[in-house]
Every structure is written in C-alpha cells, then in structure tokens.
C-alpha cells in the first residue's frame, strides 16, 4: 500500500495522512457493502425458503426416534420369543431322540437274544 519514493540516495516512505486512510477505509467498506445483502434481499430469500422447507405439519407423518425404538423393541421381543420356542422344541426333540435311541438299542439286544 505504501509506495517508496527515491529522492537521491535517501529512501522515504510516502506519508499516509488521516484523510488518505479514511478514503482507503471508505473504499474498502464500499466494496464490502456491494457484496452484502440488504433487508429486502433477505425478506425475498426467506419467502422462497419457506416454500422449500418442511413444516411441523409435514413432519407429523414421520415416526420419531422413540416410536422407532419402541417398534424395534417389540420386533426383537417377538423374534426372541420365536427363537425361544425353537430352542425348546429342539431340546425336547433331542431328549426324545435320546430316549428312542436308548430303547432302540435295548430292542436290538432283545432281537439278537431271540435270534440266537
């Protein structure tokens, strides 16, 4: 920003007066103001934004986190109940099979004894 003037062999800095500093600052603020939005611009923007954003009424149809969690818990409990029934049926079948196998071996021994 500061220009150097060479006078003879002595280098002098250009003096910035208070008026020059005020003018430079005003120019910078003017450039910034050109890029800033005005209240009217923001009002128009807010009208456009209202049309594109969702409202409370739109969100009423969506499930909340709590509702989703409750339904997940119900589903997991139902799946757990089904799994428990299958486990019980499998254990009952295994116990019943052990009894049948034991009786089957006993019957085989009796048949072998009768054949001889």
Mean pLDDT, all residues of the chain: 79
Residues 26-75 have pLDDT tens digits of 989 888 887 777 777 777 777 777 777 777 777 777 767 777 788 888 89
pLDDT at 10 over 80: no
Q: How confident is the model at residue 5 (pLDDT cuts 50, 70, 90)?
A: low
Distance CA(13)–CA(3), nearest Å, equals 6
Distance CA(106)–CA(39), nearest Å, equals 98
**Which residue did the predictor score with more confidence, 22 or 64?**
22
Q: In the prediction, which pLDDT does 8 show? A: 60
Residue 20: both structure tokens together: 């020059």
Q: Name the pTM for this structure.
A: 0.34
Q: Decide if 43 contacts 51 (C-beta within 8 A).
A: no
Q: In the prediction, which pLDDT does 87 show? A: 92
Q: In the prediction, which pLDDT does 64 show? A: 73
Domain residue spans of the chain? 1-61, 63-116
Who contacts 76 (Cβ-Cβ below 8 Å, separation ≥6)?
Answer: none
Q: How confident is the model at residue 80 (pLDDT cuts 50, 70, 90)?
A: very high
């Amino acid at each position: 920003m500061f220009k150097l003037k060479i006078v003879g062999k002595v280098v002098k800095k250009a003096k910035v007066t208070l008026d020059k500093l005020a003018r430079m600052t005003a120019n910078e603020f003017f450039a910034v103001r050109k890029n800033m939005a005005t209240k009217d611009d923001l009002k128009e923007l807010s009208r456009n934004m209202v049309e594109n954003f969702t409202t409370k009424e739109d969100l009423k149809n969506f499930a909340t986190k709590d509702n989703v969690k409750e339904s997940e818990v119900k589903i997991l409990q139902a799946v757990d109940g089904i799994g428990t029934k299958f486990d019980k049926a499998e254990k009952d079948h295994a116990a019943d099979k052990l009894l049948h196998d034991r009786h089957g071996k006993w019957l085989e021994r009796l048949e072998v004894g009768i054949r001889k």
